[in-house]
Structure 1
Amino acid sequence: MGHPRIRRWSTAGATLLAAVFAGSAAPGPQAGYTPPVHTGLAQQGVAAASPQQLQSMADAGLAMERARPAGWALTESRRLAAGVDALKPQRPGVVDAYVLVAGMDSDPVFGREAREAARVLERRYQAQGRTILLAGTDGTGPSTLPMGSPANIESALSAIAARMDRKEDVLILYTTSHGAPWGIVYHDGDSGFGAISPFRLWSTLDTLEIDRAMVMISACYSGVFIPLLSKSTRVIATAASSRRPSFGCAAENDWTFFGDALVNRALRKPQPFADAAAEAQGLVAGWEKTAGVESSEPQLFVGEDARTWLTALDARAPRLAGKPVGRPAMAMLDQSALAGR
C-alpha cells in the first residue's frame, strides 16, 4: 500500500523490499513498548532477488522466521490451536459463514484494522464462534494473537475446511497488509517475512476444495488475485487493481482507505454486499481525489452462482447501521507529501 511515508515498488528486488518496509511504527501507550520496526533484516537472503524470483518464491510459499526466542513456535501454535478448537461445527440446512481475518504486517494499522474487521464481519454474518483472527500488535502492546503468517493462514483455512460443509457454507476471508505485484506480504518486524501469491492462495483453496468464498484483500496491487481466484461460486473485492498501489497504511493510522470505506462504513449498513462494495469504491475515489493521488481502482468480482449464498448472507446484516470507529483514514494523510510524489 502507498501512504505519506512513501512505500513504492521499483523493478529491482533490493529496492522493492527496502522501499516498502522502510520507516518505523508509532510508539503505543503501554509504557516502554515500541511496536516492531522494519529495518530489512527479516528479508535477508531475498533482498537481491528479481521480481521474477520473488514471484517464484511466493508461489512456492515464501516464509522465513529469524532470531525467534526459544518457545516462540510453541506459543504461536498454542494460540492458533485455541482459535481452531473454539470453532463451532456447521449447522445442516443453514448457510454458515466461517470468517478468517488476517493482519499480515506488524505495523499497528493492520493490527487495528484486522481486529475491528473481525468484529464487523462476525456481527454482519452472524459468525459468532466461527471466526478466527490472526494479527500482530494494535500498537498498545505485544499481540496475544497468532500472527497473520502464511503458515498460520493456511492452517486456519485447513481447519475451517474441516469444520464447514463446503457445499453449503461460505468462507469469508479478509486480509490486510502491504502488497506487491507478486502478492500480499507477511512482515513481523525484523523477525518474520513472507508472501502469499495469487497462485499460492488459489492452490490452497483448490486443494481444500473451498469453492464458496468471499475474499477481500486490502493491499497494493491486490487486483492480481482476481484472475486466478475468480469462480462462479466466489465473490472477490480488492483495494486496488493489479497495476496500482492503494493508500492509508501509515503505521499510526487506524484504517487503510479500503478497510475504512468497505468494512468500517459500508459493511456496517443493512445493504447488500454489492451495494456496500460500490459505496466503498466511491468513498475511496473521493478520498484519493482530495489527496491528489492516482486512483487505486478497487475491484469487485461477483460470480453468477455466488448470488444465491450471497443473498442468504446479506439477509443476516443487522437492521440498524453501526457507527464507524477509530480515526478516518483521511484524517492522518499528509496531503502535501502525497501530492508531491
Structure 2
Amino acid sequence: MIHFKPSINLWHDFKSNQKAGLWLFLGSRRSLQIVRPSIMQLIIWGILGGLVNTLFSWLSSESGIREFNPQGLISYSLWPFIALIVGIFLSQRIDNPRIMLVPALLWLVLDTNIALLQSLIQYLGLIDVLPYALYDFMPTLFLVLFVWQSLAVVWVFARELKWPWWERGLIMLATLVTLIVWQMSVTSQPIWKVEKELPTFSEEAFYAQSKVLNKALESIQFGEFTQSHWYFLGIAGASYQDVFMSEVERIHEQFDTRFGTFGRSAVLINNPMTRNVIPIASETSIEMMLNRMGQQMNRESDVLFLYMTSHGLPNHFEMENAPLSLRQVDPKWLREALDKSGIRWRVIVISACYSGSFIPALQDDNTLIITASAADRTSFGCSNEAEYTYFGKAFFDQAMREQNSIQAAFSQAKKTVTKWENAQGFEPSEPQWSLGKNMEIMLPQLEQRLFPKINTPPPVELELSTR
C-alpha cells in the first residue's frame, strides 16, 4: 500500500514534488514517498511543462519566421492525459483515491526538468559551443530522455506495487513501443513550426549573372612585365551559410588593400544576397576566371593565390546554390582547370572538411598547397553567425597580418587552430602544407611583393612534405 504525506502549503508541496521528480529520474521508489499530489500542483506543473516544452520547440525550430502550432501543444498534452487515466485505473485497483493524480504529476515534473535540460543543450548548440561530435547523438539522447521519463513512472509503480514479472515486462514493453512510435509520428507537429520556403533564383539575378561575370572577367588587368604580381581568386562554395561569403569578401579586401592585388583579383560567391552583384561559383565560372587570369599573367613571374572555402567530403568540395544544380568540384577537375589556364606558379588554400584529400592531385613542383584539415579530418567554425571559419580566422585574419612569410603564417595558424580545437574538445583538424621543390626556391622572391620589408622574423621550423 502506498501512503502519501498530507499537503502543507503550495510552495512546500512544489519543492517536494521537484525532489520527487529527481528521484523518479533515477528510477527510485523514494519519489512515491515524498510526492504530494493535489489538483493545484497538477495544474502548476502542467503549465510549467507546457511552457518549457514550448521553449524547447522554439529553440529547435530552424531560423526564420516561426508560427505557433496549437496542434503541437495538444499532442504534448496527450501523455499527461494518458498518465491521468492510468492513475484513475490504479486508484480503483488498489482502492487509494489519492494515487489518481500521482502518475500524471510525476510525469509532468520529470518532463519539465528534462525539457529544461534539452532547451539548455539546444541553446548551447545554437551558439556553437558544444563539441561537434555531440550533434550526431543529440536526437538519440533526446529520444532516450523522453522515453525514460514515462518508463520511469511505470518502473517505480511496478516495483512499489510488486506486480508479477510478466505483467511488469509486458507493460514496460507496451509503453516503450508506444512511446517510440508516437514520438516518431509527431515530429511533424512541433509546438513552433517554421514553414520552409523553397529556394528561388530571381529573374533579375538570372539575367544579371552574365553581366557581372563578364564585368569581373574584364576587370582582371595585365601586370607590369618587369615585376612579379599576385593574382587572387576567392571561391565561396555553399550558399546556405553566410560564413563562406563573409570570409571570402573579407580576405578579398585584405588582399586588395594590403597585398596589392587590386585590379588582379576576383571572387565567385554562392549566396542569395550576392546574386545580383557577384558572379556565382560554379565549375564554369571558375574555369573562365582561371583562363582569364592565365591570359593576363606573366607566366614566368606572376603567381595565383586561390582560396576556396565551403563544406567538403573526401575528394569533394561542395558547390551549392539552390535551386541551381551545380556540379561538385573534385581534385582531378581542379587540377585540369589549373593546367588548362596556363598558370605556372600557384598557391592554393582550401578550407573545408577533408580538404587534405585534394593534395595528391594538386601537387607539382611549382605549387604550394595549404588545407584546413587532413584528408581524414573535419575542420570547424562554419557556423552561420561567424565571420570566418576557424582556419580562415587563424590564417588570414591573424597570422597573415602578423607574419611576413606564408610559411610562418601557416605555422602560427596551425598552432592557433589546434589550441581552439583542444579548448572545445574537438578532434584536431591537422592543417596540411605541401610545397613543390621549384616553388620552395621561388616563394621567397614572390613574397617580396606580397609582404612589406619590415623586420623579417627568424625562420620557423616546420615539417614540410616537399615534392
**TM-score (structure 2 length as normaliser):** 0.53
Out of 303-312 and 174-183, give the one that drifted further.
303-312
For residue 189 of structure 1, report the CA deviation from its aligned partner. Answer: 3.8
Distance (whole Å) between structure 2 residues aligned to residue 171 and residue 7 of structure 1? 36
**Contact 1:236 1:300 (C-alpha < 8 Å) held by counterparts:** yes
Q: Deviations over 1:179-208 (max 9, x none)?
A: 111321111244344311000001111222
**Greater strand proportion:** 1
Pick one of 96, 107, 128 that aligns with 2:262.
Answer: 128
**Greater helix proportion:** 2
Distance (whole Å) between structure 2 residues aligned to residue 125 and residue 78 of structure 1? 27
Distance (whole Å) between structure 2 residues aligned to residue 197 and residue 85 of structure 1? 27
Question: Is the alpha carbon distance of 1:90 and 1:117 closer, same or farther for their aligned partners in structure 2, counting shifts above 3 Å?
Answer: same
* Residue of structure 1 in register with 2:245 after alignment: 111
Distance (whole Å) between structure 1 residues aligned to residue 332 and residue 133 of structure 2? 24
Q: 1:140-179 to 2 correspondence within 5 Å?
A: 144-179=277-312
Distance (whole Å) between structure 2 residues aligned to residue 168 and residue 285 of structure 1? 35
Distance (whole Å) between structure 2 residues aligned to residue 138 and residue 170 of structure 1? 31
Distance (whole Å) between structure 2 residues aligned to residue 311 and residue 245 of structure 1? 31
Q: Which runs of 5+ in 1 are unaligned?
A: 11-36, 43-66, 322-341
For residue 73 of structure 1, report the CA deviation from its aligned partner. Answer: 4.2
Pick one of 325, 331, 336 that aligns with 1:203.
Answer: 336
* Residue of structure 2 in register with 1:276 after alignment: 409
For residue 299 of structure 1, report the CA deviation from its aligned partner. Answer: 0.2
Higher relative contact order (CA 8 A, sep 6+): 1
Amino acid at match of 1:126: G
Secondary structure (helix, strand or coil) at the match of 1:237 reads strand
Distance (whole Å) between structure 1 residues aligned to residue 132 and residue 228 of structure 2? 43
Structure with the greater alpha carbon radius of gyration: 2
Question: Is the alpha carbon distance of 1:129 and 1:240 closer, same or farther for their aligned partners in structure 2, counting shifts above 3 Å?
Answer: same
Pick one of 295, 308, 315 that aligns with 2:448.
Answer: 315
For residue 136 of structure 1, report the CA deviation from its aligned partner. Answer: 3.7
Question: Is the alpha carbon distance of 1:154 and 1:311 closer, same or farther for their aligned partners in structure 2, counting shifts above 3 Å?
Answer: same
* Residue of structure 2 in register with 1:30 after alignment: none
Amino acid at match of 1:237: I
**Contact 1:109 1:250 (C-alpha < 8 Å) held by counterparts:** yes
Distance (whole Å) between structure 1 residues aligned to residue 224 and residue 133 of structure 2? 45
Distance (whole Å) between structure 2 residues aligned to residue 124 and residue 304 of structure 1? 27
* Residue of structure 2 in register with 1:96 after alignment: 229
Distance (whole Å) between structure 1 residues aligned to residue 335 and residue 439 of structure 2? 17
Distance (whole Å) between structure 1 residues aligned to residue 270 and residue 196 of structure 2? 13
Q: Deviations over 1:145-187 (max 9, x none)?
A: 1122222111111110111122221111001111111321111
Question: Is the alpha carbon distance of 1:113 and 1:286 closer, same or farther for their aligned partners in structure 2, counting shifts above 3 Å?
Answer: same
Secondary structure (helix, strand or coil) at the match of 2:433 reads strand
Q: 1:1-341 to 2 correspondence within 5 Å?
A: 68-70=201-203, 72-106=205-239, 107-137=241-271, 144-316=277-449, 317-318=451-452
Q: Deviations over 1:284-321 (max 9, x none)?
A: 10000001010111001111211343212322314689
Question: Is the alpha carbon distance of 1:241 and 1:74 closer, same or farther for their aligned partners in structure 2, counting shifts above 3 Å?
Answer: same
Question: Is the alpha carbon distance of 1:74 and 1:259 closer, same or farther for their aligned partners in structure 2, counting shifts above 3 Å?
Answer: same
Amino acid at match of 1:294: E
Q: Deviations over 1:10-41 (max 9, x none)?
A: 9xxxxxxxxxxxxxxxxxxxxxxxxxx999x8
Amino acid at match of 2:253: R
Amino acid at match of 1:245: T
Secondary structure (helix, strand or coil) at the match of 2:370 reads strand
**Contact 1:267 1:276 (C-alpha < 8 Å) held by counterparts:** yes
**Contact 1:238 1:299 (C-alpha < 8 Å) held by counterparts:** yes
Distance (whole Å) between structure 2 residues aligned to residue 75 and residue 303 of structure 1? 40
For residue 279 of structure 1, report the CA deviation from its aligned partner. Answer: 0.5
For residue 144 of structure 1, report the CA deviation from its aligned partner. Answer: 2.1
**Contact 1:216 1:236 (C-alpha < 8 Å) held by counterparts:** yes
Question: Is the alpha carbon distance of 1:91 and 1:109 closer, same or farther for their aligned partners in structure 2, counting shifts above 3 Å?
Answer: same
**Contact 1:120 1:268 (C-alpha < 8 Å) held by counterparts:** no
Question: Is the alpha carbon distance of 1:135 and 1:190 closer, same or farther for their aligned partners in structure 2, counting shifts above 3 Å?
Answer: same
How many residues align? The count is 266
Secondary structure (helix, strand or coil) at the match of 2:327 reads strand
**TM-score (structure 1 length as normaliser):** 0.71
Q: Deviations over 1:202-232 (max 9, x none)?
A: 1111222223100000100000111111111
Secondary structure (helix, strand or coil) at the match of 2:384 reads coil
Distance (whole Å) between structure 1 residues aligned to residue 339 and residue 301 of structure 2? 16
Q: Give the CA RMSD over aligned residues.
A: 2.8
**Contact 1:105 1:187 (C-alpha < 8 Å) held by counterparts:** yes
Q: Which runs of 5+ in 2 are unaligned?
A: 1-127, 137-194, 456-467
For residue 84 of structure 1, report the CA deviation from its aligned partner. Answer: 1.3
